[in-house]
Amino acid sequence: MVLDEGVPRHLADGLRASGVDADRFRTAWKGIGNGTLLRAAQAAGYAVLVTNDKNIADQQSFVGRMLAVVSLPVNRRSALMARVANIADTILRTKPGQHVAITLDGRRHVRRFADGLLVEEEWPAVPPFAP
């Protein structure tokens, strides 16, 4: 799992403490577009990209991707560190090609493609993120 550029780097330490193999954003990827980033992360062997980009699923195709994306509702370090266990649980549940959006109220909305069709579902919610 790798963090996107806008996600506080401290989250990687918290996720590792929760049993998730987590890396900070690679400096070499700074400033690249989402499509290039998804390809680079997948080529580097990552299974999950954690981002705070809420629109990535609308901008990029996940069909055939071996990478999952988890979108966080905020990028404030204190709010994310308070929910490390919930973020780790979300990461560990993901499968290749899924986009999981965690909302401020704690809902986890999942989008994936199966047989060319978009499938949307909800996973059990986590506690809300502090505003």
Q: What DSSP character marks residue 60?
A: S
Q: What does the block give as tokens for 66?
A: 């071996």
Q: What does the block give as tokens for 70?
A: 């988890």
Evaluate whether 74 touches 32 at the Cβ level (below 8 Å).
no
Choose among 85, 84, 46, 82: nearest CA to 66: 46
**CB atoms closer than 10 angstroms to residue 63:** 10
**CB atoms closer than 10 angstroms to residue 1:** 22
* Amino acid type, 39: R
**Chain segment 83-129, per-residue pLDDT in tens:** 999 999 999 999 999 999 999 999 999 999 888 898 999 999 999 99
Evaluate whether 52 touches 45 at the Cβ level (below 8 Å).
no
CA distance 34 to 43: 14
Dihedral-angle region of residue 123 (phi above 0 means left; psi in -120 to 50 means alpha; beta otherwise):
beta
Task: Give me the mean pLDDT over the 52-57 stretch.
Answer: 84
Answer whether 0.85 is exceeded by the pTM: yes
